[in-house]
Amino acid sequence: MKKVRTHQELVALRNSLLENRDPNKPCVRVCISTGCRARGSLDVLQAFRDEVTKQGSGTDVDVKQTGCHGFCERGPVVVIGPKEIFYQGVKPSDVPEVVSKILHNWEVVDRLLYVNPATHQKVLCETEVPFYKMQTRRILANNGRIDPTSILDYIAVGGYQALAKAITAMSGENIIDTVEKSGLRGLGGGGFPTGRKWRSCREAKGNLKFVIGNGDEGDPGAFSDRSLMEANPHSILEGMIIGAYAIGVNQGYLYVRTEYPLALKHLQIAIDQAKECGFLGKGILGSKFDLDIKIIRGGGAFVCGESSALVASIEGKVGEPRAKYIHTVEQGLWNKPTNLNNVKTWACVPLIINNGADWYAKIGTAKCKGTAIFSLVGKVNNTGLIEVPMGTPLKQIIYDIGGGILEDKKFKAVQTGGPSGGCIPEELLDLPVDFDKLTEAGSMMGSGGMIVMDEATCMVDVARYFLDFLQYESCGKCAPCREGVKRMLEIVTNITAGRAKKEDLELLQELAEMVKDFSLCGLGRTSPNTVLSTLKYFRDEYQTHVKDKKCSAGICKDLIEYSILEDKCTGCGACLKLCPQQAIQGEPKNPHTIDPSKCIRCGVCRDACPFEAIMVN
C-alpha cells in the first residue's frame, strides 16, 4: 500500500476504488461479529466463498465479512447487496440455494426472510424490518456494510476524508469550535461537552499531552463499544487522529477490555493499516503532524472504565481512581494533560467534520444533540444494538424497535446505565431518553445498556445483583464505597432471604444516600442508584419481602417453594430423572410430588416439564 500524502491523493484513491467496483454486482455480506460468530457465521462465510467458486466463475458474486448489523437476536445475519435482501438465521446448508438463486435472476429464498410479527408478512430488505426502520443510524451507519479489516473499504465509503479536511483546511481552534457547536457530549455515559474538554486540554500547559480512547466497556448488559470496535475500527481512529491534531497531541492510547478479543484484533489491524497509508505515524497526510496510537489491553476490572483509574492502569498500576479536583485534562497520564473520550464519541468526530456542526445538532433534544446507542437486551423480543435520536421515548424503543416483551409478559421496569444506573418503572415509559432526563429519573445513560425486565423479575433481587457486582468490583480505595456497598448488600441479601426487619429499609436508604454523597469517584457515587431507584419506584416489593416474607416474582429462593400440580402432571417422569437432589417421587403415569426439604429450587424440573405442571409459590 502506497502512503497517501495529500488530500487530493486520498480523493483520487477513493475515486479509483469506486470506479473499480461495479455497484450492480451482487455482494454477500456476512456478519462475523461476536454475536453471529457464536452462532456459526464463520462457517456460513466459508460456505459462501466455496459455493461462489463452485457455482459461478468465482468473480460474479463478491463475498464480504462485515461487523455487527445490530440484530443479534436473528444471527447469523446475511445481507445481499445491492438489493439489500435481508436473510436471518442462515446456516451453511442454506448457502448453495442462496447462491444459486442470486445467480438466477435474483430469486429470493423465502424461508430465510424475516417475518414481521405484527403483520405476519415477510420482509425483503433490512430497511423494512421494524427493528431497523425506526432507527437513525449515524455512528453505526457503516457497521454491516464494510469489511472491518479493510482500510480500502473504509476509504471507499468516504473514510479519512474528514481527517484530510481537518489537516489541510482547518486549524485546531476551528475544529474545536465545530465540535463545540455540534453539541457533542461524551457518549461513554458522563455526557460532558466534548468540545469544552478538548479546549481545556489544548489550553493546558505543557508540550507532552495524550489522547485516550476508552473502550473498556465494563457495564454488564452493554456491548455498543464492542460492536463499534469490531465493525468500524477506522472510524474511531479517524476521530482520535482529528482530536489529537486539534488538541496538539502526538501520542494516543486505546484502552480495550481483555474480554473483547475480536475488537482488539480488528483495532490492531486498523492501526497497522492506517500507519501503512500514512494516516498515523510521522508527517500524517504530508503535514508536520505526527501521531502514534497504541493499544492497551485491560486487565478485567470494571473500575478501569473510570478515567483516572484507566489512566493508572495504563501506567501499569492498580486501577484506583483519584479525587477529581485535579482534572485529567490538566494532569492525567503520567501527570501530563490528557484528553479521554469514549470510542463512540471519537467515532462521531469524523461525521461532524464531514457534515458540519449544524447537521449533527439537527436531531436530538435542546441540550443533547445527535444520536444515542443502546444495547437493547433482557426480556425483550428483539435483542440487539440500536441507534436512535436523543429524546426518543423509552416506549418507542422497547415496543416499536424491541418488539415488546418476551412471551407477551407484562413489562415491569427498564434498567439503563449499568451498575451506575437505576430502574425506570412503567409510569415513566414516555420519558424521552437523553443524558439529563435519565439522570432526573434516577438513572443514567452510562455505556448505553438498556435492560428490559418483565413481571417475572424481582426488583429486590435486581438491586441485590448490582450490589453484588459493585462490592466485587469496588477498588477498595475509599471507605464509603468499599464498606457502604458491602453493608447495603448484606441488608438486601437479608431482605431476599426473608431475614430482614422493618427498620432495615430506612437503614438501607440512609446508607445509600451516604455512599452517594461521600464516595471518591463517579462509579462509587452512582453505585447506590439501583437501590435508590428501586426503593423509590418499587418500595411495595421490598415491603412484601420484609413483612410477608414473599417474593411475588418467584425469584428469591428462600421465599419460594416448588410444587407439582396434580391435575396437570401426567407422571411422565421427565422431572424425576433430572432432579439433582432426588427430591421428586412418584410412580410412572401417576402425579409426582416434590419433597420441599430436599428441594434446592434449581428449577430444572420446571424446565423439563412439558405440561407446565411445576408451580412456584
Give residues in contact with another protein (CB under 8 A). Answer: 34-35, 37-39, 72-73, 75, 217-223, 226, 257-260, 296-302, 313-319, 375, 377-379, 383-384, 415, 418, 449, 451, 453, 457, 465-466, 469, 472-473, 475, 578, 580, 602-604, 607-608
Report how far residue 449's alpha carbon sits from residue 227's, in angstroms, rounded to the nearest whole number: 13
Selection from 156, 139, 134 nearest residue 81 by Cα: 156
Question: How near is the Cβ of 542 to another protein at its closest, in Å?
Answer: 19
Q: Residue 138 or residue 379: which is nearer to another protein going by CB?
A: 379
Minimum distance, C-beta of residue 120 to another protein, in the bound complex (Å): 23
Nearer to another protein, 57 or 597 (CB): 597
- Return the number of the residue (197 or 226) whose C-beta is nearest another protein: 226
In the complex with another protein, the residue whose CB is nearer, 103 or 578, is: 578
* CB 73, min distance to another protein, A: 5
Say how far apart CA 564 and CA 585 lie, in whole Å.
11
In the complex with another protein, the residue whose CB is nearer, 178 or 471, is 471
**Nearer to another protein by C-beta: 73 or 541?**
73
The total of other beta-carbon atoms located within 10 Å of residue 362's CB is 13
Residue among 151 and 222 whose Cβ is closer to another protein: 222
Q: Which three cell numbers stand for residue 412?
A: 415491569
Instruction: From 318, 322, 343, 317, select the one nearest 217 (Cα to Cα).
Output: 343
Q: How far is the CB of 167 from another protein (least distance, A)?
A: 30
- Contacts of residue 197, Cβ cutoff 8 Å, sequence gap at least 6: 186, 329, 339, 341
Q: Nearer to another protein by C-beta: 190 or 449?
A: 449
Buried b (16+ CB within 10 A) or exposed e, 475-491: bebbebbbbbbebbbeb
- The residue among 503, 504, 471 whose CA lies nearest residue 485 is 471
Nearest 5 degrees, angle CA 332-CA 229-CA 266?
A: 110
Cα–Cα distances in Å, from 407 out to 124, 382, 383, 581? 25, 12, 14, 30
CB of 483 to another protein, least distance (A): 18
The H or E element spanning position 374 is: strand 371-378
Q: How many CB atoms lie within 10 A of CB 176?
A: 23
- Minimum CB separation of residue 37 from another protein in Å reads 8
H helix runs in 115-220, sequence order: 130-133, 151-156, 161-169, 172-182, 194-203
* In the complex, minimum distance from the CB of residue 453 to another protein, in angstroms, rounded to a whole number: 7
Helix (H, G, I), strand (E, B) or coil at 211: strand
Helix (H) or strand (E) holding 376: strand 371-378
DSSP assignment of 379-418: SBSS-EEEEEETT-BHHIIIIIIS-SBGGG--EEEEEESG
Residue type, 166: A
CB closer to another protein out of 75 and 92: 75
Contact 292, 250 (CB under 8 A): yes
Q: How far is the CB of 532 from another protein (least distance, A)?
A: 18
Is the distance from CB of 385 to CB of 375 less than 8 angstroms? yes
Q: What share of the chain is helix, strand, coil (3-state, %, to 5)?
A: 45, 15, 40
SS in 3 state form for 326-365?
CCCCCCCHHHCCEEEEEHHHHHHHHHHHHHCHHHHHCCEC
Comparison of 199 and 257: residue with beta carbon closer to another protein: 257
- CB proximity list for 48: less than 8 A, separation 6 or greater: 28, 30, 63, 78, 95, 98, 99
Cα 474 to Cα 172: distance, rounded to the nearest angstrom: 39
* Shortest distance (Å) from residue 249 CB to another protein: 18
* Residue number, 202 or 226, with CB nearest to another protein: 226
Triad 222, 224, 226: Cα angle to 5°: 100
User: Measured between alpha carbons, how far is 562 from 576 in angstroms, rounded to an integer?
Assistant: 13
Instruction: Report, in Å, the least distance between residue 380 CB and another protein.
Output: 10
Residue 5 or residue 606: which is nearer to another protein going by CB?
606
Task: Compare residues 358 and 607 and give the one whose CB is closer to another protein.
Answer: 607
Decide whether 282 or 317 has the Cβ nearer to another protein: 317
Work out how close the CB of 263 gets to another protein at its nearest, in angstroms, rounded to a whole number.
Answer: 9
Residue number with CB closer to another protein (194 or 534): 534
Backbone torsions φ then ψ of 282, nearest 5 degrees: -85, 140
**Nearest distance in Å: CB 219, another protein:** 7
The distance of closest approach from Cβ of residue 35 to another protein in the complex, given in angstroms and rounded to an integer, is: 5
Q: How far is the CB of 297 from another protein (least distance, A)?
A: 6
Least gap, CB of 313 to another protein (angstroms):
7
